[in-house]
Structure 1
Amino acid sequence: MLALQSEENLGMVMIFTVVTAAQEKLNEIVDQIKTRREEEKKKNTKEKEAERKLFHGTPVTIENFLSWKTKFDTELLEIKKKWMKEEEQAGKNKLSGKQLFETDHNLDTSDIQFLEDAGNNVEVDESLFQEMDDLALEDNGDDPDYHPADPGSNSD
């Protein structure tokens, strides 16, 4: 830009013209920087305002709370009604214990069969019981009058 101004004004007094052109260009650059900064400030202000609104929320007043409470109660009542209908439907389709045993005769022996099958597969680690002899267990099975918690017995 300054080179262009210099070429146009060759042979004349051009210092004032070149300085004026440089000053105009610098003013344009400064204006652009100012506008960018102002736009950034506005953007930051808007972001901060949106963030503050997000965290601030709606102030709770008696009217706001009561309107929310009525909506909440109606929604909760609808959910309970729906749940009760589902329970009622499930109750109609569900058989009682007596009805189950009357319809399926294998139910009375199924637990025994399960226990027998499980009993065959149980493994016992006998090493856990090897030191049982070292324990000082009291033998009270032979004495019917033995009462360790009885304060009247005098074992001294």
Structure 2
Amino acid sequence: GYATLGSDGRPRICRVEKPVYGMAQAGRRWQRTLFPWLLHFGFIQSSSDPCIFTLRKGDEQLIIGCYVDDLFVLHSDDSPSSLYANFTAALTNRWNVEDEGPVSDLLNVDIVRSHKHVTLSQASYIQHLVDTFMPDGVPA
């Protein structure tokens, strides 16, 4: 922050009552709010990675990966009455969230989906690294 002085010449201090986007502790505070909500919704938290949650009802399954304030949701059905639809409706009712549609990249991993396969690659990230650190190209 910036130091400011009051009319008496003394430094002013303000206390932030809740996290502000971009603050170091904002992600952790969000996690402490979101994770209990997911558990209450019925998700099971992974013991090997606490940022992965799963929920299964009948033939449907949801898997959620959390990265700071982004959720990566895998689902087996997206019909209007599906578990995914119910989850996204509950999430939207609770918080101001935005569904960005099918994912094409996540944490510098390109994701290409076909009917039967999912292909993961880092070609774009590798090209970015080459462009950044080898502006004259890769030596022959």
Q: TM-score, normalised by structure 1?
A: 0.20
- Which protein shows a greater Rg? 1
Q: TM-score, normalised by structure 2?
A: 0.21
Q: Which has the higher contact order (CA 8 A, sep 6+)?
A: 2
Normalized per residue, the structure richer in helix is 1
Normalized per residue, the structure richer in strand is 2
